[in-house]
Amino acid sequence: MTYHAGIIGTGGIAGMGILGMHDEDAIGSEKIDASHAGGYASTDDIELVAIADVDESKLDTFGEAWDIPADRRYVGHEAMLEAEDLDAVSVCTPSFLHRDHVVDAARSAADPSVIWCEKPIASAVSDAEEMVDTCDATDTELVVNHSFRFTDKLRRLRDLVREEDLLGDVKSVSAQYRMELMRNSTHVLDTLVYLLDARASRVSGYITGENEAIDALDATESVVDAGGGGHVVMDDGTFVTVDCTIPRDVSSMTLSFIGTEGKLYMNNDDGEWRYWSLEDGEHVERPLPGIEGAWTWESDYEGSFANAAAHVRDLLDGTAENHSPGVAAARSLEIIVGFYLSHYTDSTIDVPLPGPLREVPVTSW
């Protein structure tokens, strides 16, 4: 059978390109394969049949690029969710709108079995929790598009670290990535919690107030998202240092893990992964078992949307377990919110966040 999908939000990540990721001449004018629409187009048994946006110009541009009939281009997500019978819905709107769009989709007459939501999951932890609870109550799979989870190399590395005890007990992690925390650094934090299978326990943070996206995107919206970082103690005792203050043009996504049985260096931007096994008190460099080469943009990230869409199909078929559930995505969000709360209250923040603090929003695009 062929499953039917709809997209809420017809901007860059939906299928029209993202500044800093794609050819600037192509952004907003032609379809981009590394996107939700591109993922659906590359996947057998899923067809993108409907789109929704509040901006009619963007709606029509997207519709023409991706061959969506005019009568299935809806002004406002409510109209699409009322008129269509959908198996999957992609939510590709700014993060401060994710709560409304995911909850509305899960409760709608469209009755999707899977919602594929862009990262970060939401602006506030309470919104993320409501999204998870609503999807649980409506028997809807909530898949959050932390793209690295949908690359074969990272999934294999996760098995090595978590199932085959490659590093032993991880004691320390250092992570670096470009600003801003919500728009970009959610990726590095999600990779952290994915590989450790852990949750933050205590957070101490620093916020720079700098945001490159405001000028780069020629944005008029007022957002809180900025560079920052700090220290995180995970609930398994791992001590983590996070630096996400770096400008895009000099940044690399790097993580360094030190464990009782070895150490690991990952540089995703520059395609370098290195592993040392601790043998008789000395670190000896070894290949990563079952991983050819290192993670690269061309061989891994550009295929992650196709992999994610195939995973959506497998969830619809009932042949897979969710690789990137909302519960896991909320763990990176609560670290980011913890950084902000710590910076502005000059204190250390405990996780899980107390009730009122879960409602503090960090707005981004």
Can you give the pLDDT at residue 316?
Answer: 98
Residue 28 within a domain: yes
Mean pLDDT score, 329-355: 97
Residue 305 within a domain: no
Q: Check whether residue 52 and residue 161 sit in a common domain.
A: no
Q: Check whether residue 86 and residue 179 sit in a common domain.
A: no
Closest CA to 365 of 226, 254, 199: 226
The per-residue pLDDT for range 45-100, each reduced to its tens digit, is 999 999 999 999 999 999 999 999 999 999 999 999 999 999 999 999 999 999 99
Task: Name the helix (H) or strand (E) containing 171.
Answer: strand 170-178
30: domain CATH number?
3.40.50.720
Which residue in the block uniquely carries the two structure tokens 């992570």?
175
**Rounded-to-5 percentages of helix, strand, coil across the chain:** 40, 25, 35
What domain range is 64 assigned to?
Answer: 3-147
Report CA torsion sign: 338, 147, 326, 363. positive
Can you give the pLDDT at residue 115?
Answer: 99
Closest CA to 266 of 180, 183, 169, 194: 194
CB count, 10 Å around CB of 70? 9
Residue 11 within a domain: yes
Closest CA to 295 of 195, 180, 179: 195
The share of the chain scoring above pLDDT 70, in percent, equals 94
Q: Is residue 237 within 8 Å of residue 243, measured between CB atoms?
A: no
Which of 273, 295, 317 represents a domain boundary (last residue)?
A: 295
Q: Check whether residue 139 and residue 8 sit in a common domain.
A: yes
191: domain CATH number?
3.30.360.10
Q: What is the pTM of this model?
A: 0.95
Write the DSSP string, 191-245. HHHHHHT--EEEEEEEE----HHHHHTT--S------EEEEEEETTS-EEEEEEE
Q: Check whether residue 172 and residue 207 sit in a common domain.
A: yes
Q: How far is CA 170 from the centre of its chain?
A: 23
The per-residue pLDDT for range 216-234, each reduced to its tens digit, is 665 556 789 999 999 999 9
CB count, 10 Å around CB of 139? 9
Q: Is the peptide bond before 352 cis (omega within 30 degrees of 0)?
A: yes
Give the residue, 11 or 273, on which the prediction is more confident: 273
Structure token pair of residue 361? 């929003």
For residue 192, count CB atoms less than 10 angstroms from its CB and return exposed for 0-12, middle for 13-18, buried for 19 or more. Answer: buried
In three-state secondary structure terms, 161 is helix
Q: Which strands, in side-by-side order, build the sheet including 254-259? A: 282-286, 272-279, 262-267, 254-259, 170-178, 239-246, 228-234, 200-207, 349-350
Structure token pair of residue 338? 């913890």
Which of 91, 119, 147 represents a domain boundary (last residue)?
A: 147
pLDDT surpasses 70 at 9? yes
The per-residue pLDDT for range 21-49, each reduced to its tens digit, is 656 565 666 677 889 999 999 999 999 99
Q: Check whether residue 165 and residue 136 sit in a common domain.
A: no
Can you give the pLDDT at residue 16?
Answer: 78
Q: Check whether residue 41 and residue 179 sit in a common domain.
A: no
